[in-house]
Structure 1
Amino acid sequence: MTTQSLPLTVADPDCTPQIEAHAIGTEVAGAVAVTLKALAEPLRLRMLSFIATSPAGEACVCDLAALTDVSQPTVSHHLKVLRDVGVLASERRGTWVWYRITPGYKAAVSTLLESFAPAALEALVGPHELTGLEDVDAALDHLATDLAARHPDLGPGVVLGTVRESYTALARSATVSAHLLTLTERFARQRLADLTREADARPQVLFVCVANAGRSQLAAALVRRYAGDRVVVRSAGSTPAADVHPAVRPELAALGTTEGEAYPKPLTDDAVRAADVVITMGCGDVCPVLPSTRYEDWLVGDPALASPAGVAAIRDELDTRVRALLADLLPDLDLPTP
């Protein structure tokens, strides 16, 4: 029996990729990734931009706490993360600690804030042009003008900024661009209402989960069912999905929530500031910690991949927790028997 040898394939030296010559080294990539991970947090980026644009090139913890409207321990935690990776340096003067960007990172931070950030925002909005609209900017300007007339206590610039930010935030996860303007109007109305909230006897509750497509939507729907307009309820996601989970839609419909009311929304500082109670469900430490705000963390399963029986069990668990919450917030509320 004769064995035929297979021909050897000889790589063309001119076509062989010079991987080691062009790719970043493994150790360097690891070190850079650690720094990028530290920067990948909205609150830290805001602090970094404040320090970078400060006339003195530095900022005190007290200034940053006022900027972010969160507690000083929360500010100190985020600053420590940036200091540990070498982006910031600190110096204690009396009772306060001052922070500045380390010399080696000044050019990198400038590039991040002046070039990368605008490019990232443009890329997020660019792929989501509104179908049927020739000029998105004109549509947003018209919406802002209409909303500004309803909020004379806010400047037109604030309203326009809120409308544009709302559009950009929703566009990040939008899959049906034709509905973006309608969703932007609803989201902007909610945010403007939060910005102008006056003293109100009604408690305001904010439910936050990861996708705002299941648990937080169900919890908000249960509050609306039992409390009606006696409680102002919001829901949001740390990383909002493109749509509500299909398995959750029938449950929301049974609770009287329409598709127009249930759409994933990103978490905003406005919603947190307006809330009396913030309830998180599996989204980690994403909410700014504000004084005089009550926080709870509910360990509830995610209905995203649950069976119909599993979704029903999650709904029942939320129902029990919502009843207990409302009994505390509204002792005189007549809750129906489970």
Structure 2
Amino acid sequence: MSDVTDPDCTPQTESHAIATEAATTVATTLKALAEPLRLRMLSFIATAPTGEACVCDLAALTDVSQPTVSHHLKVLREVGILTSERRGTWVWYRIEPGYRGAVATLLDSFAPAALEAPHRRQALGGLQAVDPVLDRMATELAPSFPGVHVDVVQRIVRESYTGLARTAKVSAHLISLAERFARQRLTDTTREATTSVPQVLFVCVANAGRSQLAAALMHRYAGDRVTVRSAGSTPAADVHTGVREALANLGTTDAYPKPLTDDAVRAADVVITMGCGDVCPILPGIRYEDWLVGDPALASPAGIAAIRADLDTRVRGLLADLLPDLTLPTT
């Protein structure tokens, strides 16, 4: 029997797939990473304040013997991800400079996406006849922002709904969250920097851990004396499970991931990024800082507590600069 050729399927004359040699090299590197302890050690090194870790520190991550830890480090070193240097009786490990960007992408973007993928739901079709609901929302919001044209209000409402719906796990509260997000964006759009209290924007990849914790800490300490926002370059479907308890302890029970928008950046006096690379537009007159803080998505309860403590110290330092007269509680 002869083969049947689909007339709609035309073979490509030029292959766009990765070359075999390159694929083999990449696969070897990925195979070296495909081990939980190696990923934990890589995460520890990547988020260490000095960018390096001693083998004794890495051994404390697990109950396996130190020779086993050394074996895993050797595997990562042999594929070129790590470099090592002996100082006295200990060996110190760093991420090879050429791999730093790739490791950041792995830990800050790919890992959270892999954890959340089984739980993602398509929410865009979750409501029937959503257009009239959004139109009514825009009509109700418009009087609160008389300086904004109704067409702009409608656009922001629809963008807010769509941005949240892309990653939402469930649609039961999507309309109410979209209304809150749209109101926040409209407030930012009409903000007058010269007469407003300082506004701080915390940005991480998923807006499900670090940025939420930092925002909650700042709000707890400063209250209405600082306007606090948080956002994600690639927002998650929900706040990380391990972070919810920490947020609840700070009095925040209604946090939800939000996409990064230009109006949030333009309205900010200070933008704090945490592991999201160069996604934030750089605008004149805005103060930018990048905080090297561990990702709680992959952290143990003790790790989340350490990340919270790190953020607490950083937030206190920022507030001491923004509001010198603010009295902060002792820790």
Task: Name the aligned partner's letter for residue 168 of structure 1.
Answer: T
Q: CA deviation at 1:25?
A: 2.7
Partner of 1:177: 171
Give the 5 Å matches for 1:1-338. 14=3, 22-23=11-12, 25-26=14-15, 28=16, 128-131=124-127, 134-198=128-192, 199-259=194-254, 262-338=255-331
SS state of the match for residue 206, structure 1?
strand
Cα distance per residue 1:84-126 (max 9 Å; x no partner): xxxxxxxxxxxxxxxxxxxxxxxxxxxxxxxxxxxxxxxxx98
Distance 2:11 2:294 in 1: 45
Displacement of 1:14: 2.0
Q: What runs of 5+ residues in structure 1 fail to find an aligned partner?
A: 1-11, 32-124
Q: Which residue of 2 aligns with 1:46?
A: none
Higher CA-based Rg:
1
Residue pair 2:123, 2:168 contacting (<8 A) in 1 also: no
- The CA deviation at 1:129 is 2.4
- C-alpha separation in 1, matches of 2:18 and 2:157: 39
Please list the CA deviations of residues 275-312 of structure 1 after superposition, one character each: whole Å capped at 9, or x if unmatched.
00000000000000000100000000000010000000
Amino acid at match of 2:216: A
Aligned to 1:247, the other structure's residue is in SS state helix
1:281 counterpart letter in structure 2? M
Contact 2:123–2:169 under 8 Å retained in 1: no
Count of equivalent residues: 228
Q: Match of 2:221, SS? A: helix
Distance 1:127 1:300 in 2: 31
Q: What is the DSSP-based 3-state SS (H/G/I as helix, E as strand, rest coil) of the residue aligned with 1:22?
A: coil
Residue 13 (structure 1) shift? 5.3
Aligned partner of residue 289 in structure 2, secondary structure: strand
Q: Which amino acid aligns with 1:250?
A: E
CA distance in 2, matches of 1:253, 1:329: 26
Secondary structure of 2:174's match? helix
Contact 2:200 2:269 in 1 (8 A): yes
Residues 218-257 of structure 1, C-alpha deviations (whole Å, 9 max, x = no match) = 0000000100010000000000000000000000000001
The amino acid of 1:186's aligned partner reads R
Is there any run of 5+ residues in structure 2 with no aligned partner, and where?
A: 20-120
* Equivalent-residue separation in structure 1 for 2:245 and 2:303 (angstroms): 14
Identical pairs, percent: 70
| TM-score where L is the length of structure 1 | 0.64
RMSD: 2.3
Q: Work out whether residues 123 and 171 of structure 2, in 8 Å CA contact, stay in contact via their aligned partners in 1.
A: no
Partner amino acid, structure 1, of 2:3: D
How far apart in 2 are the matches of 1:24 and 1:236?
A: 43
- Cα distance per residue 1:38-73 (max 9 Å; x no partner): xxxxxxxxxxxxxxxxxxxxxxxxxxxxxxxxxxxx
Partner of 1:233, secondary structure, is strand
What secondary structure is seen at the aligned counterpart in 1 of 2:172? helix
Structure 1 residues 246 and 24: alpha-carbon distance in aligned structure 2, compared to 1, 3 A threshold = farther
CA deviation vs aligned residue, 1:107-162 (integer Å, no higher than 9, x gap)? xxxxxxxxxxxxxxxxxx9852244xx42000000000000011111111110011
